[in-house]
Structure 1
Amino acid sequence: MALTFELDPKFDGTLRDGIIALWVDVSNAGGAVGFIPPVTTEEIRPELVKHLVSMAEGRTRLLVGYDEEGAVAATAFLTHNTHRLMTHWLWIYTVMVHPRHQGKGYGRGLMSAVAEAARGFEGIEAIRLTCRGGTGADRFYMSCGYKEVGRVPGAIRVADGDDRDDIIMLLPLD
């Protein structure tokens, strides 16, 4: 069964807790979403607050995917570019699918829903994202139509002696 997506859902305690739980589970399963495992709810909460502030300021929008039980199973944050010469594309951040749903096509569904949402934003021509090298995420995004447009070697330090490339990817929305 496919996920049900909602752009800009009503934000309440249940949604907050669902996103935090998703972020903890994805991080602890080795997902490249800003943390190195193990992480706790207390470590994730301040990062979510930063996203919420951006949402309150109108710079970021939230796309949530719910599973058949109504639980938060996927997220992506779509952020408008604030540079006046780059307002024709947006960033996506914190792209996550719960580990229990890996391999079901939900990631592809999420990326399709992201593109569809972005097409509804006035003046948006492309989506940019970055991903951590060495995880295979770049191959996944390429399979969703994204193209690698830049790479910063060794920009992400996940541990002493383990530096990863920061890969910049773009999806034109034609």
Structure 2
Amino acid sequence: MPELRFVTDPELTPELIDELVGCWTDVSNAGGSVGFVPPVTAADIRETADAAFARCGDLDHLLVGFDAEGRAACWLILGDAGSWLRAHWRWVLRVMVHPKHQGRGYGSQLMRAAADASRAMGVEALHLTVRGGTGTERFYMGLGYTEVGRIPRAIRVAPGDDRDEIYMVSHLSPLP
């Protein structure tokens, strides 16, 4: 399995932002459930991306996996929980592996790197949501996540195509 170099909060140069938006566009158009439904363009994603990246390095943390050529192969955001009462956990947001890298184990490497980076920040648990009907909950369960809730028909992909939103958690240290 090819190894990636993971960087937490890399400098968000215009070039890196373009790479990340390009990845987001390609993942969306390949059917990935990362906030959009195909077909989309980079322009469709840019406003959402700019808002997400503006929070990174302060409240949220961007984690990027770079391939051997130094290109962004996968990435996610560790999102602030929004309250000091929840400072011990983070949301895992926008998890994506570029389609050309699918099937190489990059998603598992990315999620393990997210757990490691979170532990280094003193985070005790990671929470995420997945779109029902995609099967991604099995991937996360294989990494130690547990389904803790489900909201039926919370996500409307298209008229007549409503999906459950599935809430999952991974405790990074044993519960007391």
User: TM-score when scaled to structure 2?
Assistant: 0.95
1:59-79 residue CA offsets vs partner (Å, 9 max, x unmatched): 111000111221111011011
Whether 2:48 is the aligned partner of 1:59: answer no
Matched with 1:143 is 142
Matched with 2:79 is 79
Distance in 2 separating the partners of 1:172 and 1:142: 12
Distance in 2 separating the partners of 1:80 and 1:158: 26
Answer whether contact 2:29 2:38 (CA < 8 A) is retained: yes
Distance in 2 separating the partners of 1:147 and 1:111: 14
Matched with 1:26 is 27
Matched with 1:91 is 91
Answer whether contact 2:21 2:49 (CA < 8 A) is retained: yes
How far 1:53 sits from its partner (Å)? 2.2
Answer whether contact 2:26 2:98 (CA < 8 A) is retained: yes
Matched with 1:100 is 100
Matched with 2:45 is 44
How far 1:120 sits from its partner (Å)? 0.8
Identity of aligned residues (%): 50
Q: How many pairs align?
A: 172
User: TM-score when scaled to structure 1?
Assistant: 0.96
User: Is 62-71 or 27-36 further displaced after alignment?
Assistant: 62-71
Distance in 1 separating the partners of 2:97 and 2:73: 6
Amino acid at match of 1:36: V
Distance in 1 separating the partners of 2:164 and 2:54: 28
Distance in 2 separating the partners of 1:47 and 1:138: 24
Matched with 2:164 is 165
1:105-149 residue CA offsets vs partner (Å, 9 max, x unmatched): 110000000000000113x21000001011111110111111101
Amino acid at match of 2:14: G
Answer whether contact 2:9 2:56 (CA < 8 A) is retained: no
How far 1:84 sits from its partner (Å)? 2.9
Answer whether contact 2:6 2:65 (CA < 8 A) is retained: yes
Say what the alpha-carbon RMSD is for the aligned residues: 1.0
* Structure 1 consecutive aligned stretches of length 4 or more whose deviation exceeds 2 Å: none
Amino acid at match of 2:44: E
